[in-house]
Structure 1
Amino acid sequence: MTMSVATRTRSDLETRLLPIADRYRGRKGITIPLLADLQREMGFIAPDAVDFFAKELDIPAAEIFGVATFYAQFHLKPRGRHIIRVCRGTACHVRGSLKILESVKEIVGVEENQTTEDLRFTLEPVACLGACGLAPVMMIDTQTFGRLTPDMVKGILDRFE
């Protein structure tokens, strides 16, 4: 038996996203704040959510994806609960950040810019963390860890569930 459109219940996705769409309905120049709200709600920019907003707000999906892929702060895949950033700046590089990065990759089992299957960690090498005096440096979420050696990495990662 097929439900009619009138009796069909909203999907969980629609229920989560409709309040966001309602905030931007009829407004212009809303793509970046819309994407920020979407990512805050879902943790990433999901293709089905983009399709929902394209229909609800009469914005081409290609335009929404274009903005989402242009700006580095938007993510098209789920990210881990903890974001590991390993500095690749000059001071960190000279002091062994590549060995730190390799140690992280081996311990968590992912490559650069990937997320573990259990969504525990996302690994992001970055150009600079601005803590050159502590080189080599990595950040996990908002915590900075400096003067690292590869044998310190596992103990640090173990603190994050």
Structure 2
Amino acid sequence: MMAFSPETHAAAAEIIARYPAGRSRSALLPLLHLVQAEQGSVTTEGVTFCADTLGITQAEVGAVATFYTMYKRRPVGDYLVSVCTNLSCALLGGDEVFARVAERLGVGHDETTPDGSITLEHAECLAACDYAPVMTVNYEFYDQVDPDSAVAIVEGLQAGERPAPTRGGPLCSFAETSRQLAGFADERPAGVAGPGVGEPSVAGLLLAEAAGWRADQAPAPLVAATPPVAGQGTGPAAPAAAPVPVPAPASSERKGN
């Protein structure tokens, strides 16, 4: 079994101390990020470490580690490249972006380049439809990419560069990102948050301001138009049907039936 470093043991104790006495199991999520920061994934040893540290079963740890996609059960490279191929991004070229990046790296979904530097994955949704198509590297956003710009980003990573994300902080390695997700600050002097919101995110707000709409003003009541009844032209609609009565819930004596 691979022993975890003294620094990881000390960090685990610091994480647990953030929670009230008797609630240490609440520290499981950051602890999983912590072991992932050291080993590159949540290994069997990592599951055992979390279980022993928190006094819970390995099955309980494994259930959490396999539920959340940010916990990787296979080794991840220095950079995790996630290309969104969900609806909004797919409609705007996300599948083409993924295909070109996969061709450039020579790997497919959930695979890592032979040198161990880059892992590629389809992302089901990156919650950035207003910037579609999007790609992240270690969860930092690269917005409105196309096949050429996405390939340029991964080529920069292969050349040892850290291309600046569109939003958020400067790019970290996967291990550095995992440690930050465990609740530890980025110690780099440049490790401060960059822009978090761009114009697409506030398009509705800008439209409301331009129209003079205010949150403290009630909107005019909406009157729904009654659609014409088939075969009756545009004449008056038939009276609304009486509401269908809803049966009362079963009595408590019958709940077991």
Per the normalisation by structure 2, the TM-score is 0.49
1:19 aligned to 2:3? no
Q: 1:155 to 1:13 in 2, by over 3 A?
A: same
Q: Which residue of 1 aligns with 2:142?
A: 144
Secondary structure of the 1:84 match is strand
In structure 2, how many angstroms separate the alpha carbons of the residues matched to 1:129 and 1:55? 33
Deviations 1:30-57 (A, max 9, x none): 3223223322343321211322343454
Q: Which residue of 2 aligns with 1:107?
A: 104
Match of 1:70, SS?
coil
Partner of 2:120: 123
Q: Which has the higher helix share?
A: 1
Q: 1:95 Cα shift?
A: 2.9
1:152 and 1:57 map into 2 onto residues whose CA distance is 44
Tell me the residue number matched to 1:96: 93
Match of 2:184 in 1: none
Name which of 57, 75, 78 aligns with 1:78.
75
Q: Distance in 2 between matches of 1:56 and 1:151?
A: 46
1:102 counterpart SS class? helix
Structure 2 Cα separation of the partners of residues 134 and 34 of structure 1: 32
Which whole-Å CA distance do the structure 1 matches of 2:65 and 2:11 have between them?
A: 17
The verdict on how the C-alpha distance between 1:52 and 1:153 changes in structure 2, with shifts beyond 3 A counting, is closer
SS across alignment from 1:83? strand
Q: Secondary structure at the match of 2:153?
A: helix
Structure 1 consecutive aligned stretches of length 4 or more whose deviation exceeds 6 Å: none
Q: How far apart in 2 are the matches of 1:75 and 1:53?
A: 15
Q: Report deviation, 1:156.
A: 2.8
Structure 2 distance, partners of 1:158, 1:35, is: 30
RCO higher in 1 or 2 (8 Å CA, sep ≥ 6)? 1
Show structure 1 runs of 5+ residues with no match.
Answer: 1-10
AA aligned opposite 2:154: L
Cα distance in structure 1, aligned partners of 2:74 and 2:94: 26
Quick one: which amino acid aligns to residue 106 of structure 1? E
**CA distance in structure 2 between the aligned counterparts of 1:130 and 1:48, rounded to whole angstroms:** 32
Checking the alignment, whether the CA contact within 8 Å between 2:12 and 2:34 is kept in structure 1 is no
RMSD of Structure 2 on Structure 1 (CA):
2.9
Q: Cα distance 1:56–1:157, how it changes in 2: closer, same or farther (>3 A)?
A: closer
Aligned to 2:31: 34
User: Aligned letter for 1:146?
Assistant: Q
Q: What is aligned with 1:4?
A: none
- Residues 120 and 45 of structure 1: is their aligned pair in 2 closer, same or farther, counting only changes over 3 Å? same
Preserved contact between residue 20 and residue 38 of structure 1 (Cα < 8 Å) = no
Report how far residue 69 of structure 1 moved: 0.9
Aligned pair in 2 of structure 1 residues 16, 145: CA closer, same or farther (>3 Å)?
same
Shift of 1:59: 2.2
Larger Rg computed on CA atoms: 2
* Pairing partner for 1:67 from 35, 41, 64: 64
CA spacing shift, 1:62–1:20, aligned 2, 3 Å:
farther
Q: Secondary structure at the match of 1:159?
A: helix
